DNA sequence: CACCTTATTGATCGCATGATCAATATATCG
DNA sequence: CGATATATTGATCATGCGATCAATAAGGTG
């Protein structure tokens, strides 16, 4: 790997440059994980001196935490939009499971797994992880609540059920990261599991083409 | 933290010293995670010069991988022994879920989570992770197979069901690591989920006192 | 008791990390 | 067109990591 020469970066407005650095961090995190979000790596990616990254960020811990939050919140927004277009809670829940387990978001899964590990040594990141988990759980909770009201879901403790489903999804994705190829069957059985949890009949969560 | 003076370590047989270093690594990993298994930390814990750790280990990557395997295999052995005393697959599966999710093994969970993350940059560790996951999945598979034969489990794909349950357990434990206190309700709903997955009737997996 | 094998160590290297600061160069304003 | 505010940088520091090697010292053996 040769050292690419870096010409002096063009002078830009703080807002623009800061946004470029944030974006560089996002890309590096998605491509190489949160561990690779280092002062020098982000600087190189943004085409800028390391000191400039430090200039625009209070600390690398903070940049890592913000990058995590950015990536995860973005995915939540996308999925929320997708689900909003569906007619009811049953369709929303089935689609949510299928989408999260379709194996096309391994880059985000890596970010999650590394955040769990790094959060033990980065307080800001740990706080971000809790916030994002709460937000995801809230999405699930709303779907389940609506399901209880309108679609025959049986959930004595909606909060616990939402946490449970979230944990299952996260675990299956993390596991798929390590296992050999067969990512396809990742979601093959979770429908049955969630149906059992919520008192639905077998096949209730199947999503029609 | 003062720098504790270290007197020259007593001369011991290679087998004994090597075992002490392995044990030091195990303790450090359980107390502070795999990330803390560094040359200097293990040396300090074992009361020995850093160079001696390097002398007895081919590399730190290898020590981290072995430490992970040691800890996880030990837990598997313990649980296997516990389950062997139970009368049938239903009791074994219920007890397995309750035991793994009782919240008393967070130190091992941290080791798992860090292994997933570190495995991306430590090939030996990644191989150990795959091996240990396979071993855990095999335990679950045997229980489910027996359940299909003798206890009315319905599992068209026993392999997939075993992976699924393993992923769910790992995910719930990893999640509990981050969430606020309430570790107790961790396993409250997984019985229903697994019952749904395996076609068992509600409450089938409940473990009598 | 003396010798010799070898367990153990201190010193050191190379590398990567985050952070700081004076110096430099550039865009914009008067 | 010149002056000024400030975006950008190179240099440098302190820290922690894994690894290597000649030097040291302790235990077992003859």
How far apart CA B183 and CA B180 sit, in angstroms, is 8
Q: Is the pLDDT of residue B4 over 90?
A: no
Q: Is the pLDDT of residue B57 over 70?
A: yes
CB pair distance less than 8 Å for B178 and A113: no
**CB-neighbour burial class of residue A34 (10 A; exposed 0-12, middle 13-18, buried 19+):** buried
Q: Is the CB of B6 under 7 A from strand D?
A: no
* CA of A143, C1' of C7: distance in angstroms: 65
Q: Which of A29, A42, A46 is nearest to A125 (CA)?
A: A29
pLDDT of residue A178: 85
How far apart CA B194 and CA B200 sit, in angstroms, is 8
Q: A86 with A92: CB under 8 angstroms?
A: yes
Q: Which of B:100-139 have CB within 8 Å of A?
A: 110, 113-114, 116-121, 126, 129-130, 133
The pTM assigned to this predicted structure is 0.95
pLDDT of residue B180: 61
* CA of A57, C1' of D14: distance in angstroms: 20
How far apart CA B16 and CA A22 sit, in angstroms, is 51
Residue B1 or residue B15, greater confidence: B15
How far apart CA B105 and CA A131 sit, in angstroms, is 24
**Distance (Å) from the C-alpha of residue B113 to the closest C-alpha of chain A?**
6
CB pair distance less than 8 Å for A178 and B35: no
Please give residues of chain B from 47 to 106 whose alpha-adjacent beta carbon (CB) lies under 7 Å from any atom of strand C. Answer: 48-52, 55
User: Which candidate in B129, B173, B175, B194 is best for mutational testing of the A interface (most A CBs within 10 A)?
Assistant: B175
Q: B90 with B151: CB under 8 angstroms?
A: yes
Q: Which residues of chain A have pLDDT under 50?
A: 1-2
DSSP 8-state symbol, A86 = S
Interhelix angle B39-46/B14-32, rounded to 10 degrees, is: 110
**Nearest-by-Cβ selection for A33 from B120, B126, B188:** B120
Q: List pLDDT tens digits, range A13-25.
A: 999 999 999 999 9
> Domains in chain B, please, with CATH?
9-57 (1.10.10), 60-197 (1.10.357.10)
How far apart CA A189 and CA A52 sit, in angstroms, is 49
Q: List pLDDT tens digits, range B62-115.
A: 999 999 999 999 999 999 999 999 999 999 999 999 999 999 999 999 999 999
Q: A90 with A147: CB under 8 angstroms?
A: yes
Interchain CB contact of A169 with B (< 8 Å): yes
In chain A, which residue's Cα lies nearest the Cα of B156? A189
Q: Which of A97, A111, A103, A115 is nearest to A195 (CA)?
A: A97
Q: B158 with B145: CB under 8 angstroms?
A: yes
Q: List pLDDT tens digits, range B115-173.
A: 999 999 999 999 999 999 999 999 999 999 999 999 999 999 999 999 999 999 999 99
Which residues in chain A are contacts of B178 at CB distance < 8 A?
116, 119, 126, 129-130, 133
Q: B66 with B18: CB under 8 angstroms?
A: no
How far apart CA B108 and CA A5 sit, in angstroms, is 46
pLDDT band with cut points at 50, 70 and 90 for residue B182: low
pLDDT of residue A179: 80
How far apart CA A135 and CA A132 sit, in angstroms, is 5
User: Which candidate in A119, A167, A169 is best for mutational testing of the B interface (most B CBs within 10 A)?
Assistant: A167
pLDDT of residue A142: 98
Cβ neighbours of A108 (radius 10 Å)? 17
**Distance (Å) from the C-alpha of residue B163 to the closest C-alpha of chain A?**
8
Interchain CB contact of A196 with B (< 8 Å): yes
pLDDT band with cut points at 50, 70 and 90 for residue B2: very low
Q: What nucleotide is nearest A52 when CA is compared to C1'?
A: D8
Q: List pLDDT tens digits, range B18-52.
A: 999 999 999 999 999 999 999 999 999 999 999 99
pLDDT, average across residues B178-197: 78
What is the residue whose two structure tokens read 């209070």?
A58
Per the structure block, which two tokens stand in for B193? 């989920």
Spell out the residues 6+ positions from residue B181 whose beta carbon is closer than 8 angstroms to its own: none
pLDDT of residue B1: 46
């Amino acid at each position: 790997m040769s050292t690419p020469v870096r010409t002096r970066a063009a002078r830009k407005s703080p807002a623009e440059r800061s946004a470029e650095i944030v974006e560089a961090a996002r890309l590096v995190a998605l491509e190489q994980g949160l561990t690779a979000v280092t002062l020098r790596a982000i600087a190189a990616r943004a085409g800028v001196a390391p000191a400039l990254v430090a200039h625009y960020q209070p600390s690398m811990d903070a940049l890592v935490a913000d990058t995590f939050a950015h990536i995860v919140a973005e995915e939540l927004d996308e999925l929320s939009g997708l689900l909003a277009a569906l007619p009811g809670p049953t369709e929303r829940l089935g689609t949510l499971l299928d989408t999260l387990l379709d194996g096309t978001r391994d880059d985000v899964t890596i970010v999650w797994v590394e955040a769990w590990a790094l959060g033990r040594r980065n307080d800001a990141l740990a706080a971000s992880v809790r916030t994002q988990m709460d937000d995801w759980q809230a999405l699930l909770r709303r779907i389940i609540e609506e399901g209880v009201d309108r679609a025959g879901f049986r959930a004595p403790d909606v909060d616990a059920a939402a946490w449970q489903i979230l944990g299952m999804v996260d675990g299956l994705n993390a596991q798929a990261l390590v296992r050999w190829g067969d990512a396809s069957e990742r979601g093959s059985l979770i429908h049955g599991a969630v149906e059992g949890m919520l008192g639905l009949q077998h096949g209730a969560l199947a999503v029609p083409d």
